[in-house]
Amino acid sequence: MTTATRAKQLGFLQAINRAQTEEMTRDERVILMGQDLRANVFGAAAGALEKFGPSRIRDLPLAEAGSIGVAAGAAMAGLRPIIDLTVASFVFGAMDQFVSQLAKARYMFGGQATLPVVVRAALYYHGGTAGHHADRPYPMFMNVPGLKIILPSTAPDLLGLLKSAIRDDNPVLCFEDANLWGRKGRGPIPDADHIVPLGQAAVRRTGTDVTIVGIGLGAFLAEQAAAELAADGISAEVIDPRTLVPMDWPTIFESVTRTGRLVVVDPANRTCSAASEIAARVAEDCFDALRGPLVRVTTDDTHVPFSPALEKQIYPSKDKVVAAVRRTFV
């Protein structure tokens, strides 16, 4: 790609900045809080402080539990906070506030509370960051009713979904696969006020022999694998759910009903992954259509090792996806 065409493309960090800027301009109840926003250390907050001022753009002290709980309270009292938690591994220190307050307050208080909170966190794996920075914890939150979860794989989708998330009256967790920050995640710059509704999958490629559902970087790998399989005469349909909660089950079921085969590519750890849930639901709802085993391509159930000699092998890869598709043809 030449520099000129790349300049016309939207990257992940620009998508975040544009979504936040547009929504903060549109609705003054939206505030943005995170670590190192004013110095724009992560690169997605350029110009925010100048535009919206220190009352609406706040650097948080290192206090993850407090940050999520404060957002929940501010939301109950009329604001629409966006929390930039930066790295997804930092969610763990805030788990109680996510589960006990953010997710449950509306239900437990009989619908009195409204919690329009967006929490953003990057999946920072594949880069030598080791066990404390490389988690992909979204399936843990899929296990908590009351939270919505988006996990876009292209910058235009990120822009549109994040805007929907900010407008949604429920807590939405936005996980950003940092492997897509560069070339892999770029896409055409959408027109003004580009909205992607929550809960709508994207069919990236149509096919007839097998359905590959890919999450985050997994969607990119699925497309690569589909191209390789096409050369072998296997026609793969690639679906990117984009939203994990609520999941677009009709699109997935319709596809698997046609193809009879399913592979799910998910960067999360294998056990109780998003892939596990998708496979289970397909087994329950599309059983009669199935013509082969449901195969998950996930990260192995281990921690992320530091050494470059160890790390890469634990994650999904294009080759693992191709091999998984072949397994469905037993």
Ligand X SMILES: Cc1ncc(C[n+]2csc(CCOP(=O)(O)OP(=O)(O)O)c2C)c(N)n1
**Partner that binds at residue 300, options ligand X, other proteins, none, CB closer than 5 to 8 Å by kind:** other proteins
Positions 12 through 41 that interact with ligand X (CB under 6 A):
35
Two tokens, residue 108: 């437990």
Token duo for residue 119: 């929490």
Cis upstream peptide for 250 (omega within 30°):
no
- Kindly state the smallest distance separating residue 305's Cβ from other proteins, in Å: 5
309 touching ligand X, by CB under 6 A: no
Residues that bind other proteins (CB under 8 A): 35-36, 38-41, 43, 46, 59, 61-66, 89-90, 92-93, 127-133, 300-303, 305-311, 313-314
Closest to 19 measured CA to CA, from 184, 11, 240: 11
Collapsed DSSP state (helix, strand, coil) of residue 43: coil
Q: How far is the CB of 66 from other proteins (least distance, A)?
A: 7
- In the residue annotation, 133 being an active-site residue is answered as yes
Q: Applying CB under 6 A, does 90 fall inside the site for ligand X?
A: yes
Place of tokens 């999520």: 68
48 or 219, CB closer to other proteins?
A: 48
Judge whether 263 and 226 are in contact, CB under 8 Å: no
Nearer to other proteins, 68 or 252 (CB): 68
- Asked if 187 interacts with ligand X (CB under 6 A), we say no
Restricted to residues 91-130, the positions that interact with ligand X (CB under 6 A) are 93
* Least distance between other proteins and beta carbon 59 (Å): 5
- Give the H/E segment covering residue 10: strand 9-10
CA–CA separation, 173 and 281 (whole Å): 22
Q: Rounded to an integer, what distance in angstroms lies between the CA atom of residue 8 and that of residue 277?
A: 37
CB of 51 to ligand X, least distance (A): 24
Question: What whole-number distance in Å separates Cα of residue 119 and Cα of residue 84?
Answer: 6
Catalytic one among 126, 133, 194, 303? 133
Residue number, 131 or 182, with CB nearest to other proteins:
131
| Member of 4, 7, 62, 231 binding ligand X (CB under 6 A) | 62
Residue 243 interacts with ligand X (CB under 6 A): yes or no: no
How far apart CA 145 and CA 170 sit, in angstroms, is 11
Starting at the edge strand found earlier in the chain, the sheet holding 172-177 runs: 57-59, 30-34, 80-87, 118-123, 172-177, 148-150, 243-245
Q: Rule CB under 6 A: say whether 67 interacts with ligand X.
A: no
The CB-of-67 to ligand X minimum distance in angstroms stands at 10
61 binds ligand X (CB under 6 A): no
Residue 63 binding partner per list ligand X, other proteins, none, with a CB distance cut-off of 5 to 8 Å that depends on partner kind:
other proteins
Query: At residue 307, what is the residue type?
Result: S
Q: Are 67 and 60 in contact (CB under 8 A)?
A: yes
If one asks whether residue 42 binds ligand X (CB under 6 A), the answer comes out as: no
Give CA–CA dist 155/181, Å, rounded.
Answer: 8
328 contributes a contact to ligand X by CB under 6 A:
no
| Residue type at position 18 | R
Q: Which 189-218 positions form the footprint of ligand X (CB under 6 A)? A: none
CA distance 168 to 118: 9
Number of residues that bind ligand X (CB under 6 A): 5
Nearer to ligand X among residue 4 and residue 62 (C-beta):
62
What positions carry a catalytic annotation? 133
Give contact residues for ligand X (rule: CB under 6 A).
35, 62, 64, 90, 93
